[in-house]
C-alpha cells in the first residue's frame, strides 16, 4: 500500500525564521510528488517534483526531491505570518493521489 508521511505535524515559529518541512514516501511506481498550501479553503498548488536533485523555487519557497532516499523537503525562508497554513504533500503514482497528514505551520509576529 502506498504511503506518504509528513513531519513535523505541527510547527510554530517566529517571523523571519527559516523552516524545513519533510515528506517521505513508500510507493510502488513513483511518478511525481506534489506540494500544496492550504489556508482556510481549497489547497493551492506549489510544486511538482519528478526528478531527483533539481530544486524548484518560487520566491521564498523551494523544494527538492531525493528519489534514492524517498523523500522531499519544502523550505520556507524569512517566514511571514501569511505563510501560516497547512502544507500538504502527495504522491501521484496510482489512480488516486496519496496524501500525507499535512504539516500545520503557524508563524507568529
Residue 97 is a binding residue for other proteins (CB under 8 A): yes
Q: How far is the CB of 71 from other proteins (least distance, A)?
A: 17
**Which DSSP string do the residues of 57-89 spell out, in sequence order?**
EETTEEEEEETTTTEEEEEE-S--GGG-EEEEE
For residue 73, count CB atoms less than 10 angstroms from its CB and return exposed for 0-12, middle for 13-18, buried for 19 or more. Answer: middle
Binding-site member from 3, 14, 31, 60 for other proteins (CB under 8 A): 31
Binding-site member from 23, 74, 88, 105 for other proteins (CB under 8 A): 88
Listed residue (88, 65, 89, 64) closest to 75, CA to CA: 64
Do 91 and 98 meet the contact criterion of CB atoms below 8 Å apart? yes
Of the pair 16, 94, the CB lying nearest other proteins is at: 94
Residue 83 is a binding residue for other proteins (CB under 8 A): no
Interface with other proteins (CB under 8 A): 6, 10, 31-32, 34, 41-43, 45, 48, 50, 86, 88, 90, 92, 94-97, 99-102, 104
Amino acid at each position: 500500500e502506498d504511503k506518504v508521511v509528513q513531519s513535523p505535524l505541527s510547527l510554530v515559529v517566529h517571523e523571519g525564521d527559516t523552516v524545513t518541512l519533510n515528506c517521505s514516501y513508500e510507493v510502488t511506481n513513483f511518478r511525481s510528488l506534489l506540494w500544496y498550501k492550504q489556508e482556510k479553503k481549497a489547497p493551492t498548488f506549489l510544486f511538482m517534483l519528478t526528478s531527483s536533485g533539481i530544486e524548484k523555487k518560487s520566491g521564498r519557497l523551494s523544494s527538492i526531491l531525493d528519489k534514492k532516499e524517498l523523500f522531499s523537503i519544502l523550505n520556507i525562508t524569512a517566514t511571514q505570518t501569511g505563510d501560516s497554513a497547512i502544507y500538504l504533500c502527495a504522491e501521484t503514482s496510482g489512480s488516486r493521489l496519496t496524501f500525507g497528514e499535512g504539516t500545520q505551520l503557524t508563524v507568529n509576529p
